[in-house]
Amino acid sequence: MKITERRSTCPINYSVEIFGDKWMLLLLRDIMFNGKNSFLEFRASDEKISSAVLTEKLNLLLNEGIVSKVTSPKNASKFLYLITDKGIELVPVMVEILYWGSRYNPHGGPKTWLDRIKQNKKKAIAELQDELRSQWRSHGLN
């Protein structure tokens, strides 16, 4: 893992240096809520991230231990990006961002997830975390 020089030791600064731009949160959204895990799937998102920016952001997530890169069991020339436990701990934060955005965005948000969150936020978070961990197990990871 590459060591990154930080501007300060402040925990908020640490978080901002990782998640301080839209692409990181959108990548996490795609992994957590949309089940995406390949380069091409990320590139196909509505926001149209460039290949160069996507590569940079995925490398940062890898270096920070938030995702892990594994070879696809179906295609040895394809890599999958799976969220790690460190990344899974961000699920409650992402749920809150999703919920907040849906309240103030005039276009709403992903109805399926919003319904689950509104019914029982704790349960929705726990189920999502379990689902993400099962992806690890399905690839033979711990």
Task: Report if residue 3 sits inside a domain.
Answer: no
Task: Report if residue 78 sits inside a domain.
Answer: yes
Q: DSSP letters of 112-135?
A: HHHHHHHH-HHHHHHHHHHHHHHH
Task: Report if residue 6 sits inside a domain.
Answer: no
Residue-wise pLDDT tens digits, 93-105: 999 999 899 888 8
**Which CATH number do you get for residue 79?**
1.10.10.10
Q: Partners of 68 in the beta sheet?
A: 82
Q: What is the C-alpha radius of gyration for the chain, rounded to an integer number of angstroms?
A: 15
Phi, psi dihedral angles at 5 (to 5 degrees): -75, 125
- How is residue 74 annotated by DSSP? S
Say what the pLDDT of residue 93 is.
95
Whether the pLDDT of residue 55 is over 80: the answer is yes
Task: Report if residue 45 sits inside a domain.
Answer: yes
Task: Report if residue 5 sits inside a domain.
Answer: no
* Residue 77 CB-density burial (10 A; 0-12 exposed, 13-18 middle, 19+ buried): exposed
Range of the domain at 94: 11-138
Whether the pLDDT of residue 2 is over 60: the answer is no
Residue-wise pLDDT tens digits, 26-45: 999 999 999 999 999 999 99
The structural domain count of the chain equals 1
**What average pLDDT is seen over the chain?**
89
